[in-house]
Amino acid sequence: MNRFSLLLLLSTLLSLPSLAQRPIHKELTKKRAFAHIPEGPFELKGCDESVSVEHLPEFYISSVEITNGQYLEFLKATRPDGDTAEWFALHPAVENWNLLMYCEPMMKFYWSHPAYKDYPVVNVSMEGARAYCAWYGAELQKLYPEFEISCRLPQTNEWMKAASGHENWEAVYPFGPFLRNSKGIYLHNFKTRDTLNFPSNDKRDSGEPQGTIPTELTVYMNDGGMFTTASKSYFPNGFGLYNSSGNVSEMLENGSLAGGDWNSYAYDIRICSFKPYTQPEPTAGFRPVISVRARTVSR
C-alpha cells in the first residue's frame, strides 16, 4: 500500500462515526434496554482482594435480568417442527422450586402465569442461557450485517465493572457500603436479618411482653420481595443496571454465579460474591453481554 492509499484509508476511518453515534447503539440502549459500558480501566477496592484491570473493551449488557417473557419468546422462536428432547431441555426446570422449601404455588405459576412475565427467568440450565444468547445475537446480526456481533454470558471482569456501576469503585455494593437509602428503604432483594414489629401480649420465658415476633418469613419480606421481584425493581446503578446485587444470582461465562440472590444474606450479594453453578435453581438467572465490532473492509 502506497502512502496515498494509506492516508486515504486513515482519513476514511477517522471520518466514520463512533459506535455510540451509530444506529446500532440507539437500537441497543433505547429499544432493547442494554447498558453501554465504555472501554477503559476498571478498579474495585472494597472487596477482600482489590481488582484492577488496565483495559476492558467496550461492551453492552442487558440492564435487566432476562425475564420469563423474554425467555418464552426465545423458546417460541426456536421451536422445531417436531418437538425434540434438546428443545424441551431448554425449558425451565419448574420442579426445582422445591429444592429450597415448599414452593408448590411458585412451581405451578411462576413460569406460566402472565403476572410473572417481567420477573427474571430462573431454573434454566447454563446450556439454556447460552442458547438464548446465541439466538439473540443471531437475530441482531441479521439487522446489522455491517457489524460483527457476539452475544454471550459475561466474563467475570465485565460483570463486576457493569455491576458496580463505576470504573473506579471502593465499595462492595452498587450504591456504596449501604443496603438501604437515607429513608431506610432497602436497595436490593436479599435475605435480611430483620424482624417485623408486631404488637403482642405474648409472654415468653422472661415473663415480659414481647414487642416483636421473629418469623422465618420476615427475613424474606422486609425488602419488598418474598422470592424474586420484577427485573426492573429498586434503583438502577451508575451504568443503568437493575438488581446487579441480589434478586437472582447471574451466570457467568466461566460457569459460576455472581451477585447473590433473594435467598442470600448481605455478605453474599456483594459485587465480588461468587459461587459455582451446579444445576438449574430458583435463585439463578442471567443477563447477556453484547460485543459489537465494525467489519473490516478488504481491498
DSSP string, the chain: --HHHHHHHHHHHHHSPPGGGSHHHHIIIIIS-EEEE-SEEEEE-SSSS-EEEEEE--EEEESSPPBHHHHHHHHHHT--SS--HHHHTTS--GGGGGGTS--HHHHHHTTTSGGGTTSBP-S--HHHHHHHHHHHHHHHHHH-TTEEEEEEPPPHHHHHHHHHTSSEE-SSBTTBS-SB-TTS-BSSBS------------B-TTSSBPS----TTHHHHTTT-SS---TT-S---TTS-S-SSBSSEEE-TTSEEES--TTS-GGGGSTT-EEE--S--TTEE---EEEEEEPPPP-
pLDDT 10s per residue in the chain (299 long)?
555 444 434 343 333 445 555 788 989 998 888 999 999 999 988 787 888 888 999 999 999 999 999 999 999 999 998 778 999 999 999 999 998 877 888 999 999 999 999 999 999 999 999 999 999 999 999 999 999 999 999 999 999 999 999 888 888 899 988 888 888 888 999 987 654 433 333 333 333 333 444 445 444 555 456 789 999 998 999 999 999 999 999 999 999 999 999 999 999 999 999 999 999 999 999 999 999 998 775 55
Structurally, the chain folds into a number of domains equal to 1
For residue 211, the model assigns a pLDDT of 41
For residue 69, the model assigns a pLDDT of 98
With respect to residue 37, please indicate whether it lies within any of the assigned structural domains. Answer: yes
With respect to residue 231, please indicate whether it lies within any of the assigned structural domains. Answer: no
With respect to residue 239, please indicate whether it lies within any of the assigned structural domains. Answer: no
With respect to residue 234, please indicate whether it lies within any of the assigned structural domains. Answer: no
- Give the range of the structural domain holding residue 137, as residue numbers without chain letter: 18-180+285-293
With respect to residue 219, please indicate whether it lies within any of the assigned structural domains. Answer: no
With respect to residue 53, please indicate whether it lies within any of the assigned structural domains. Answer: yes
With respect to residue 207, please indicate whether it lies within any of the assigned structural domains. Answer: no
With respect to residue 55, please indicate whether it lies within any of the assigned structural domains. Answer: yes
For residue 294, the model assigns a pLDDT of 87
